[in-house]
Amino acid sequence: MNLKELEITVLGLGESGFSAANFLLEKGAKVKISEIQSNPGLQKKLRVLERKGAVGELGKHSEGFVFPSQLLVTSPGIPPQLPILKQAREQKIPVIGDLELASSFCRAPIVAVTGTNGKTTTAKLIAHLLRKKVKVFEVGNIGTPFSSCVNKIDENSWVIMEISSFQLQNIKTLRPFISLILNITPDHLDYHSDMREYRKCKERIFLNQNREDFTILNADDRLSYGLRKKTHCEKYYFSTKKEVQRGVYTQEGQIFGLNGKGKERIADLSNFNLPGTHNLENCLAAICVAYVIGMSKKDISEGLKSFKGLEHRIEKVATLRGIEFINDSKATNIDAVIKAIQAHPAPLILILGGKEKGNDYSPLKELIKERAKFILLIGENKQKISRSLGGIVPEQKCACLEEAVQVAYEKASAGDQVLFSPGTSSFDMFRDYKHRGEVFKEIVKDLRS
Ligand code: UMA
């Protein structure tokens, strides 16, 4: 893609927009930046880009500024229904995202991981396993914009890309060598019009793959497995429950692989330390990637042993008076909460809630009744959660996270676990889920002192 002298508008000045604008400027494009918000942080970022030759507007997306433009680079959080994006489509102006932009400059094979839950853990584990043998770059939803590092990636490296449904809807030519769909359950229904549209976005991961490429699907997940008919590339599966035709599965504490040349034992499950069935699925998915690539069993086993898991994802923070505090701030949907509860058999005090994003909390009812002795509700959607759970266990609505943690500590006894697994976005009270998790950990630290 020759970007020199091309007139390009970048929409959104978050992490991906800032990086894309820098990348485009380096490639000699004429860059305009349009960002809906205006605050000192954004003004500072814009000044940096203006010094490199960009022009920008903050606080609006005005038609007169955004157009004319030969290409729009949008941020994943910007809804496709935004009038300015609709206008661009009507004017046949291509709209892409940071991942698509950078991928046209990438010569390394890409492993693209999508799914509703477990993407980051799986992508991190894949990177951890592969790093033993090759140079690895982790990009996308995992936190690093692809355009910020693509210039450093040569053909001997591997790219491990976490790609969300938001990012998938703006791909045009991006072609993963290996695509992986972990699971598909309801999420982001404030953004996608329904489950069908959400599933269609996930399916776009196959768009440019062909018979020389691979896809890995979850044989235990109806929607992930159902997508096998939508792709022409070579298919591998993983399962925690049954033998698969081709791929990896567990049996009697062992992980086995099947690739057309017979069955082989790959590793012992006891090498993997993260709790819960969902983590076992993530583990098998990552091993399946290593297996497709042809990594040795020894390297896979060693990699599993040394993998420590993620911050903010079922992270043990502290044990005070015999009460364990767990930070699961990365749980931004209901399925993630279900998995976190299932991974913790002890009596639970659960902290839920945050920004309203169209989630249905009622699937939590049975599990909460079974495992939780008390729930604390915070954030914009606390009334909604309370209504949909219908008083199945005692609850209290709190003004802030600090109050919720304090009350949890008072209500808990030795042997209980306080699980902060909000089940929704953080933006009503925090910058993002990481900030929310940091605040939780700080509050727990203060309890200790
Ligand atoms: N904005 C506009 N116009 C709008 C809406 C938003 O200008 O109509 C602006 C916002 O004011 C803000 C910017 O766009 O300044 C935000 O962009 P963004 O929300 O797309 O986020 P980025 O900072 O660019 O970060 C994105 C990913 N965010 C989302 O997908 C929401 C990050 O994933 C990713 O790490 C980063 O690119 C680098 O690739 C985070 C995430 O929350 C972890 N992902 C979601 C999730 O995991 O649930 C999908």
How far apart are the CA of 25 and the centre of ligand 1, in A?
Answer: 21
Q: For residues 87 and 111, is the Cβ–Cβ distance under 8 A?
A: no
Q: List all residues whose CB is within 6 A of at least one atom of ligand 1.
A: 11-17, 35-37, 75-78, 82, 140-141, 143, 145, 164, 166, 332
CB count, 10 Å around CB of 36?
16
Give the containing element (helix H, strand E) for 219.
none
How far apart are the CA of 174 and the centre of ligand 1, in A?
Answer: 19
Q: Atom of ligand 1 at shortest distance to CA of 76?
A: 20
Q: Atom of ligand 1 at shortest distance to CA of 164?
A: 49
> Which residue's C-alpha comes closest to atom 15 of ligand 1?
14
How far apart are the CA of 327 and the centre of ligand 1, in A?
Answer: 22
Question: What confidence category does residue 301 fall into, taking pLDDT thresholds of 50, 70 and 90?
Answer: very high
Pocket test of ligand 1: the residue of 141, 337, 431 to mutate, having most ligand atoms within 8 Å of its CB, is 141
The pairs formed by 168-171 with CB atoms below 8 angstroms and a separation of 24 or more are 168/114, 168/201, 168/202, 168/204, 168/205, 169/80, 169/201, 169/204, 170/74, 170/76, 170/95, 170/96, 170/97, 170/99, 170/100, 171/96, 171/97, 171/99, 171/100, 171/103, 171/204, 171/207, 171/208
Q: Give the per-residue pLDDT at 184.
A: 87
Question: What confidence category does residue 188 fall into, taking pLDDT thresholds of 50, 70 and 90?
Answer: low
- Residues 349 and 409: their CA atoms lie apart, in Å, by 9
Give the mean model confidence (pLDDT) for residues 142-156.
96
> How high does pLDDT run on average in the chain?
94
Q: Atom of ligand 1 at shortest distance to CA of 36?
A: 7
- Please say if the pLDDT value at position 187 is more than 70: no
> Which residue's C-alpha comes closest to atom 32 of ligand 1?
141
Read off the pLDDT of residues 153-172 as tens digits, 9 standing for 90 and up: 999 999 999 999 888 988 99
- Residues 235 and 217: their CA atoms lie apart, in Å, by 7
Q: Give the per-residue pLDDT at 189.
A: 59
Q: Which residues contact 211 (CB under 8 A, 6 or more apart)?
A: 232, 233, 234
> Which residue's C-alpha comes closest to atom 31 of ligand 1?
77
What one-character-per-residue DSSP string does 69-121 give?
A: -SEEEE-TTS-TT-HHHHHHHHTT--EEEHHHHHHTT--S-EEEEE-SSSHHH
